[in-house]
Structure 1
Amino acid sequence: MRIALAIEYCGTHFHGWQSQPSGNTVQDALEAALAAIAGQPVGVICAGRTDAGVHATHQVVHFDAPVERPLSAWVRGVNSHLPDGVAVRWAQPVAPEFHARFSARGRRYRYLLMNRPQRPGLWQGRVGWFHLPLDLAAMQAAAGRLLGEHDFSAFRAAGCQAKTPVKTLWRADVQQQGNLLVFDFEASAFLHHMVRNLVGSLVYIGKGAQPAEWMDELLQARDRTEAAPTFSPDGLYFRGPIYESHWQLPDPQDDFLDGMLK
């Protein structure tokens, strides 16, 4: 039986999602916990790999269960074997053709940026930080220029393995709540470091180093060296994949990021 899981995790103390020899990754922790419940090795496939320091509120994975267990075992049982900072939110049987990555028609990210002179203390590791005042209207104008289908080579990491840099961005907006700036992105797919590179260039515009029109120039130049440096991973949250309704997976809209920003 194929099972889908949604998990949330704080990436601060993990070396990213993907399994590594060190073993200190979210995938390693999850597969070890699943194996403890199944009594044998279990491999998982995720909807979107995240880098070291990046968090997730609704990462979706699938695996083919080698043994029959109640769904509660794949949630509460697995959680009892997971380290602090990562937890299963739900488990659900899915059709054999469901694939956590390839069945997704899009993905969602949010970046939280604390904008105040003092570095974060309580929120350390959970938000990015910039100490100078930022122009919200300029960043909003620049973000709007990103919408639609573009070649995002200017925001692509050197080691990116995507077959094409052309992606369609459905949402790119910036909101402010007190000293917290909230960047939301939704797209058909994302390039490696794309969101962090977009945030870095939007911050450049917000601090007055470049006008909003600079975003058009970057898209046209398709040159990573022309854009701003990659921003910190601390404030980046993978909010989950977007699936067609026929898969009948639980709605991720109840994640804590929505609740705390109302």
Structure 2
Amino acid sequence: MSDEVQPGHVRIRLDLSYDGTGFHGWAKQAGGKRTVQGEIEDALRTVTRTRDTTYELTVAGRTDAGVHARGQVAHVDLPRELWDEQRDKLLKRLAGRLPKDVRVWSLTEAPAGFNARFSAIWRRYAYRVTDNPGGVDPLLRGHVLWHDWPLDVEAMNEAARGLLGEHDFAAYCKRREGATTIRRLQELSLVRGEDGVITATVRADAFCHNMVRSLIGALLFVGDGHRPPEWPAKVLAAGVRDSAVHVVRPHGLTLEEVGYPADELLAARNLEARRKRSLPAAGCC
């Protein structure tokens, strides 16, 4: 599949963040629902004075309704003439036009081969939860989940280690027709801060639908003593959804950062990421 920039256009990388509370997710939807993509594309049309043209964004991670982002990355292809004319003014104009719950921090010409989605080699999320008997700090209530059982972080980390590596995460994903559920989970660890908030760091080459929130749901069941530390790995190996694995609420989840390879490797990664994944046959390699 070709991903070449059309003649006369230039690919622009956007680094952005948003509070997901008031959005129905990243992707545009029918029916006029408010989305991050829709807000940014509307703002671009306004500030570039191209009301009859939509410059469509491609994003690194399509976050669900209520999920936040601190380090989201997207790209858009703009006419070279428009970019050359407005490049020095575009960021400030967007700041004046966008709603306060979404910000674009930088607009830069992307190197050859860059695709915000397919060139990425990892996405890093954080999920924040507290087991404070009094609940969540009111100033953090939109970003931290309250779990009303005491949590054993050591047991959760023990369980997390059994999930690392490349696996078929069908047991932790909402299936989508024609999409693979094979992913490489590179990091899954939890730390309790001085304020009592537990932050789970989850990093993978990519995620399937509801994967992070399902993994956290399983770990919480271990942390509060309802399941032993080996249980999440057994669910993974079984390959089917377990009714005990709950998809936790979205507001505790934030996309923190997206990683990309060196510029000279972007095009190769772009092609590699489009190939459908498979696991080695049993006993192979």
Note whether the superposition's TM-score is higher than 0.5.
Answer: yes
Q: Which runs of 5+ in 1 are unaligned?
A: 250-262
> Which aligned pairs between 1:78-89 and structure 2 lie closer than 5 A?
78-89=94-105
Cross-structure match for 1:107: 123
> Which aligned pairs between 1:32-181 and structure 2 lie closer than 5 A?
32-40=42-50, 41-66=54-79, 67-68=82-83, 69-120=85-136, 121-158=138-175, 160=176, 163-177=179-193, 178-181=195-198
Contact persistence 1:154–1:226 (CA under 8 A): no
Deviations 1:73-124 (Å, cap 9, x if unpaired)? 3322111110011001111101353211011112111101122123322212
Say which of 222, 231, 234 aligns to 2:239: 222
Q: CA deviation at 1:59?
A: 0.8
Say which of 22, 25, 40 aligns to 1:30: 40
> Which aligned pairs between 1:192-207 and structure 2 lie closer than 5 A?
192-207=209-224
Count matched residues: 248
Q: Take 1:17 and 1:161, find their aligned partners in 2: how far apart are those partners?
A: 20
Q: CA deviation at 1:241?
A: 2.0
Q: Take 1:10 and 1:154, find their aligned partners in 2: how far apart are those partners?
A: 29
Whether 1:16 aligns to 2:25 is yes
1:247–1:116 Cα change, 3 Å? farther
- 1:229 aligned partner, one-letter code: H
Q: Runs ≥4 in structure 1, deviation > 3 angstroms?
A: 69-72
Deviations 1:28-77 (Å, cap 9, x if unpaired)? 10001111122223211111100110000011111111312443433221
Contact persistence 2:142–2:251 (CA under 8 A): yes
Q: Take 1:197 and 1:33, find their aligned partners in 2: how far apart are those partners?
A: 34
Secondary structure of residue in 1 paired with 2:97: coil
Q: Which runs of 5+ in 2 are unaligned?
A: 1-9, 267-285
Secondary structure of residue in 1 paired with 2:37: helix
Q: Take 1:93 and 1:247, find their aligned partners in 2: how far apart are those partners?
A: 15
Q: Take 1:43 and 1:80, find their aligned partners in 2: how far apart are those partners?
A: 20
1:146–1:139 Cα change, 3 Å? same
Whether 1:233 aligns to 2:246 is no
Q: Aligned-residue CA RMSD in angstroms? A: 1.8
Deviations 1:163-191 (Å, cap 9, x if unpaired)? 21111111110100132000001111111
TM-score under structure 1 length normalisation: 0.89
Q: Identity of aligned pairs, percent?
A: 37
Q: CA deviation at 1:226?
A: 4.4
Bigger Cα Rg:
2
Contact persistence 2:184–2:204 (CA under 8 A): yes
